[in-house]
Every structure is written in structure tokens, then in C-alpha cells.
Structure 1
């Protein structure tokens, strides 16, 4: 674990909100020199705290107006069924995330679809036919607020 001071936390919060912000802008915002900010960000990257850069697509603007979280309980347990399920579900383009979780369900999936009937098609024809699928619970996303996470 890396020790973080106030400037590190401020930089992480700012980068979590907008990873494209320049070191010059961050330096002005937090009353520091640009080389100091650059070195801090480099240190955070080398320590693995900043684990990469990713492009975020707007699913709604691409025609995917519905997001559903699925809780999936496997009918059979065991290493083979977990591996088979993970491999199969990861191949479905509408499935955005696959999370192996502890609790009532074995997996939590984030699925996007054009509309509810498109989601029903994906559920019936793709997800419910996967190896080992037992119980499924769907929760439709109504709204979402993105938070940078616990930094400070």
C-alpha cells in the first residue's frame, strides 16, 4: 500500500473525474508546480494506483437504452462449471461486466440492450442457455451517478 498525502488524494479525485486534465491545469488548481504534479502522477502510476486509461462509451448514444444488472445463480457448483460459465458469458457482446460475487448469487452481470424486448431476447436466447445457469434475477438501471471512489 502506498502512503497518500492531501495532494495525492486531490490529484486522484481530479483524474477520476477527468483523466484528460493536463498536469499544468492540475498544478494551477492545487497551487503546485507542474513538475511536482507530473512526478506525483508518475509515482502513482508506477505504484499501480493509476492502473491505466480507458475509453468510456455512452451506451445510450450508441442505441443501447436499457441497462440491466443480472444476478445469476449457477445450478451446479464446481470449478469446471464456473470456468465454463465465465468463458461463455464473456463472449456475449451485450454483457459489459462479469463479476464473481459472494452472496445470494454467484455472478453479477451488467447487460446493455436496445430496449426491453431486445434484453428479453438476449436473456432467453443467450444467457439462459449458458452452461450451469440456474436462478436469475434482473434489476433494471433507472439512473446512475458515477463516483470517483474512496480516495480520501
Structure 2
């Protein structure tokens, strides 16, 4: 079974790993500071929670990319650039570590009490199902936690 933020045990695994982060932790790759990573992961997860129903269908390239990512790729690729709206580089005060950590914990925990089906249009994969969004949020969060060694 693929890990998903929607599964209570899988979600708890991520929460336990977030708790292990400490101010000043250094990333093993990339250029984000730990506070920026926490804000980035929180913003992405929060956007998924409230994303609107997609208005367009996936193109052929998106269908192939989605199939590869969800069925063959075990981990989120390193150093992939996402949408600029989620770029937190230089936008988070280093003194906000605890606030950003708690914000990510709260946002991840919110996936346990959603009463709607996740939906929305991903810029690379096109529209995703509820199940696919759950897997994607888990993989994305796992990626950034591995980036900081937890």
C-alpha cells in the first residue's frame, strides 16, 4: 500500500518526524532553511485541503507523468522546482521556527478530519483524485523531512 496523508498511521509517522525537527537543522540538499521548509510544506498541504474542483482535463503528458510518479517513482525527486507561490526562500524569519513547526503539524493533522473529497488541478499531473492527493501530500512532506534528516 502506498503511504498517504489520509491514512492515520502514515499521517502519524509524518507528525512524529516533524516533532523531531529542531531550529538550526541543516538540509542535506537544496537551499531552504528549516523554517522555510516548514512554511513551504504547510502552504502546499493547506492549498491541497482547499483546492477547487478542476475545470480541465489532463493532457497526454500529464497522464504519463502521473502514472510514472504514482506507480513507479518511490520518492519525490530532489531539487525539483515547484510553483513560485510556494517558494519560501527568504520569506520566513528564522525566529518563527516554533510557529512554522506547529503550523505544519496542525495542517497535516487537519487531513484526519476532512469531510470532503480532495480534488484540484496539479500543474504537472493535471487533475488528481482524492487518493492521489493523499499520496502526493505524503510523498512531498516525506521528501522535505528527509531533506532535513528526519
Q: TM-score w.r.t. structure 2 length?
A: 0.24
Q: Which has the higher helix share?
A: 2
Q: Which has the higher strand share?
A: 1
Answer 1 or 2: higher relative contact order, Cα 8 Å, separation at least 6. 2
Higher-Rg member (1/2): 1
Q: TM-score w.r.t. structure 1 length?
A: 0.23
